Structure 1
Amino acid sequence: MSHRRPVRLAALGAAGLALAAGLATTASANPGHHTGSAAKPTVVLVHGAWSDSSSWSGVVKRLQADGYPVTAPANPLRGLHSDAAYLADFLKTIHGPVVLVAHSYGGAVVTNAATGNPNVKALVYIAAFAPDKGESVAALNAKFPGSHLTDDPNAPVPTALNAVPFTRPDGSTGTDLYLKPDKYQDVFVGKAFGRATVAELAATQRPATTEALGEPSGAPAWKTIPSWYLVARDDHAIPAAAERFMAARAHARTTEIAAPHAVQLTNPGTVAHLVERAAETR
């Protein structure tokens, strides 16, 4: 055994070097994520609560077909500050200009994550939160009437949501908020999909914590980075009036469309077109 152990360690070392070399080759071959050699900016798509990165699939296909490097990282949905820090670190791995696109709660995340990053050339809000310093997602959502997330403003948890307690690795407890399956169509996707598709989307949703929706935002990137905004007029999650308010405050170039909250799912062509407009503007 004493004679064979060094051989095994050497083999493991060789395997490790080979893996590292392979990763380096893969990284250098990914122009959208690790190099600025691409002629077009990298588009980074950030999802919000009650969906995941797959919600961007239709948008990704269209942007890639037009030659854009695209990535749609997972948004942790654990807390606004920690989610923004996670995305900020992710953005540092991208060399060259970035167009940062967000839906729903993801808008609050990019508003914080892009601050101070000179590579982010444009922010695109898709029916998304664009908070100012000190504002929370929950407070902004309650600022205007029209949301179907609750029918009792005094309820401790919005009535369209299920509260699910969990224990963190450090032993502290938290609460995840899921959109109730029977509310998913009305609040999130509208009438664009059939019952089976809506049920699948509801079953695979990712929850956000109460901290994510309640934490106050930091210095907003939209004060220094050019912004675009897509208002979804039939949004039952974020009131359209709130979207217009945030878009106007950010001096965003604004487009309106008759669509539900999940407009990136129902109208991916419109979303992709707006993203490309932002990418092409100098």
Structure 2
Amino acid sequence: MIGSDVPSPTLLLVHGAWHGSWCWDKLRSTLGAAGWSTRTVDLPSAGRDSGVHEDAQAVLDELGRIDGPVVVVAHSYGGIPVTQAAAKAPGVSRIVYLAAYQLNVDESLLGFHGAPVPDEPDGLQPVPNNPLSLFYGGVPAAEALEAARRLVPHSMRSFGEPLTQAGWHTVPSAYIVCEHDQALPPQDQEALATRSDEVHRLASSHSPFLSMPQELAALLAEIALRTAD
């Protein structure tokens, strides 16, 4: 842990649909001030017609650049490629699902919600019409508007592709339920969280890395320190 001879894990932060690594900047600054090393990755499905497996490979590629143990923090859709990638990545010491999809083998995002999966999904899903209320409750208005301006269309294929592996079966996991989430309903998060080894809760919207970075950073540090012990 920080301040001891035991190496602290690096935190790899993986964004959700329509977003990019930029969404973590505020949280990274907070974690960095506390001595934590963080990394991010941009998922190909944000802005391109790529699927879960291309996203998982991007996560694996970034993990391969990190020395020592890694705690992977996956937000929303990001939980899906992280779950796939973690099954192949020996350096991952814990997965943290932040209001994220902790799916099992053969499950997809659309399938989890009971929505039909197109036979040949392609193209890009436009940015939702109401991103401010959907994603950024509790975020200062100017900051929320700037975040919404940076959103990009997301691959339809990634929403329908099922997992072929699920890393949380072998890698310890923690779930953070965002209790005021308007994007992934808290009741869905609670159902997904039953697959994790531990469950935590924040009184936040879908994006606590913007709405309450101090509280989220403290919780992630608590989880990561326990992982390092």
Q: Say yes or no: TM over 0.5.
A: yes
Match for residue 185 of structure 1 among 109, 114, 132:
132
Q: Spell out the pairing of 1:160-175 with structure 2 (5 A cutoff).
A: 174-175=122-123
Q: Does 2:61 match 1:89?
A: yes
How far off its partner does 1:70 sit?
1.0
Q: Which has the higher contact order (CA 8 A, sep 6+)?
A: 2
1:193–1:224 Cα change, 3 Å: same
8 Å CA contact 1:58, 1:269 repeated in 2: no
Taking the aligned partners of 2:101 and 2:42, their CA distance within structure 1 comes to: 18
Partner of 2:43: 75
- Counterpart of 2:33, as a letter, is A
Q: Does 2:211 match 1:263?
A: no
Taking the aligned partners of 2:91 and 2:78, their CA distance within structure 1 comes to: 19
SS of the residue aligned with 1:206? coil
Taking the aligned partners of 2:147 and 2:89, their CA distance within structure 1 comes to: 34
8 Å CA contact 2:138, 2:204 repeated in 1: no
Taking the aligned partners of 2:103 and 2:220, their CA distance within structure 1 comes to: 20
Percent of aligned positions with the same letter in both sequences? 33
Query: What's the TM-score, normalizing by structure 1?
Result: 0.71
- Tell me the alpha carbon deviations over residues 14-70 of structure 1, each in whole angstroms, 9 at most, x when there is no partner: xxxxxxxxxxxxxxxxxxxxxxx9931111101011222121112111221122221
Taking the aligned partners of 2:204 and 2:184, their CA distance within structure 1 comes to: 12
Q: What value does the CA root-mean-square deviation take over the aligned residues?
A: 2.3
SS of the residue aligned with 1:185? helix
Q: Spell out the pairing of 1:202-221 with structure 2 (5 A cutoff).
A: 202-221=148-167
Taking the aligned partners of 2:219 and 2:169, their CA distance within structure 1 comes to: 20
Partner of 2:102: 130
Taking the aligned partners of 1:63 and 1:198, their CA distance within structure 2 comes to: 21
Partner of 1:197: 143
SS of the residue aligned with 2:171? coil
- Structure 1, gaps ≥5 residues long: 1-36, 144-152, 157-172
SS of the residue aligned with 1:255? strand
Taking the aligned partners of 2:125 and 2:95, their CA distance within structure 1 comes to: 27
Divergent runs of 4+, >6 A: none
Taking the aligned partners of 1:179 and 1:38, their CA distance within structure 2 comes to: 43
SS of the residue aligned with 1:205? coil
1:231–1:207 Cα change, 3 Å: same
Taking the aligned partners of 1:199 and 1:117, their CA distance within structure 2 comes to: 36
SS of the residue aligned with 1:138? helix
- Structure 2, gaps ≥5 residues long: none
Q: Spell out the pairing of 1:94-173 with structure 2 (5 A cutoff).
A: 94-140=66-112, 142=113
Query: What's the TM-score, normalizing by structure 2?
Result: 0.86
- Counterpart of 2:128, as a letter, is K
Please say which structure displays the higher CA radius of gyration: 1
- Counterpart of 2:24, as a letter, is W
- Counterpart of 1:278, as a letter, is I
Taking the aligned partners of 2:205 and 2:82, their CA distance within structure 1 comes to: 21
- Tell me the alpha carbon deviations over residues 165-193 of structure 1, each in whole angstroms, 9 at most, x when there is no partner: xxxxxxxx941112234x11121112433
